């Protein structure tokens, strides 16, 4: 048996990309009132330590905390790390801490980062240039291929091990592709799916500098197939981009959406203060 045919080693860490979990909670105010003053003080301290990584525990590679608008949740977490139990450890510490009896998990999604099937490789991009009539020996051709290769590496890194932007408004929603008769995404030829996703991507590009996104895959991991996280410089841009992209055929005909959560980036102390539980600025 050659090394290429050997089975992969047992591991919880992906060979490419990171685990991702979105978690949403609300405070049970009645349970909070039942806590003693000391328990409430301890609860606030442990809440801050867990989310600010002051308790000596390993912190996920990426962790954002959000104040969530509406009744679906009081706050939310966006976490990414190579190891799934590092992420889940944050949830377990919250639930086992002094505030555990007063915390109600309301929704979650488990997913992973991935590269899109619809982003051309360098070789595919070069073939398209040649098909457009550019001579492979020309400086224009070689310059465009090199430039695309650099962009692709940046895109690959941002998709697999993303930095989370520090933009104030955040929206998260899960989605799946339809498998209905006559509207089955997974029975479409690749070329047609690629065309539809290209159209979808062009709509999103119109919001460059206003909105940025992270799409993670939940297939085989959760009920929904993808999770979409949008960060915006202003909440109105979230409304605008989602409305605009609903008209794309990939969404209008083939997409099904789950619950939407909208939140605003806030430190753990700000969450406690906003929810009337104390905390710090």
CA–CA dist 41, 32 (Å, integer): 11
- Residue 11 buriedness (CB in 10 A; 0-12 / 13-18 / 19+): exposed
Closest to 143 (Cα-Cα) out of 241, 245, 45, 151: 151
Active-site choice (25, 125, 148, 173): 173
Q: Given the structure tokens 């939407």, which residue do they identify?
A: 260
Burial of 214 (0-12, 13-18, 19+ CB in 10 A): buried
Inter-CA distances, 87 with 50, 65, 117, 170, 171, Å: 12, 13, 26, 20, 20
Catalytic, 173? Answer yes
Q: Which residues pair with 144 in a beta bridge?
A: none
Active site amino acids? 173
């Amino acid at each position: 048996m050659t090394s290429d045919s050997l089975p992969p080693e047992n591991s919880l860490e992906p060979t490419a990309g990171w685990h991702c979990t979105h978690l949403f909670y609300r405070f049970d105010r009645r349970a909070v009132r039942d806590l003693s003053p000391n328990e409430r003080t301890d609860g606030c301290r442990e809440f801050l330590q867990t989310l600010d990584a002051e308790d000596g525990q390993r912190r996920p590679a990426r962790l954002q905390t959000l104040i969530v608008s509406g009744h679906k949740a009081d706050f939310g977490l966006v976490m990414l790390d190579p190891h799934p139990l590092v992420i889940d450890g944050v949830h377990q510490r919250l639930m086992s801490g002094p505030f555990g009896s007063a915390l109600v998990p309301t929704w979650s999604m488990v997913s992973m980062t991935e590269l899109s099937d619809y982003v051309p490789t360098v070789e595919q991009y070069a073939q398209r240039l040649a098909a457009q009539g550019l001579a492979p020996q020309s400086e224009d051709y070689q310059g465009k291929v090199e430039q695309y290769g650099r962009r692709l590496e940046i895109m690959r890194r941002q998709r697999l091990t993303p930095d989370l932007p520090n933009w104030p408004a955040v929206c998260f929603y899960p989605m799946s592709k339809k498998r209905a008769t006559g509207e089955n995404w997974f029975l479409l030829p690749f070329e047609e799916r690629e065309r539809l996703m290209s159209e979808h991507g062009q709509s999103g590009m119109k919001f460059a500098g206003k909105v940025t996104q992270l799409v993670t895959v939940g297939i085989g991991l959760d009920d929904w197939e993808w999770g979409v996280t949008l960060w915006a410089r202003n909440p109105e841009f979230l409304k605008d981009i989602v409305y605009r992209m609903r008209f794309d055929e990939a969404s209008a005909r083939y997409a099904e959406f789950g619950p939407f959560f909208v939140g605003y980036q806030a430190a753990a102390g700000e969450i406690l203060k906003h929810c009337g539980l104390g905390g710090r600025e």
